[in-house]
Amino acid sequence: MSVHKELIQHAANQNKEYQFFLQLDQQRESYIEEAINLCKEGKPFTTDKINAVTKQINNINLRFIPERKIVTIDMVREYVSRKA
């Protein structure tokens, strides 16, 4: 019975971590979109918020979540220039 409870607790913890990941991933995408829009408008932007969330995502201990790349200003500019 104890093993069963431990498995249930483990699954609950993983689900909680996964929900946190989903929230952070959505926030990261929002920050990327914000940087892209600022870049398109020729306004100054940074990737600080993107990368802060990226580091949080990469610290989540779930094997099935691929590591996210750190985003540079040049990466955003290159993306915008390719889409123009």
Task: Give the tens place of pLDDT for each residue, 36-68.
Answer: 999 999 999 999 999 999 999 999 988 888 899
Stretch 16-43: mean pLDDT: 97
User: Does residue 1 have a pLDDT over 70?
Assistant: no
What is the reported pTM? 0.87
Q: For residue 53, which of 32, 31, 28, 20 has the smallest C-alpha distance? A: 28
pLDDT at 81: 96
Collect all residues with Cβ–Cβ distance below 8 Å to 67 and sequence separation of at least 6: 58
Collect all residues with Cβ–Cβ distance below 8 Å to 44 and sequence separation of at least 6: 38
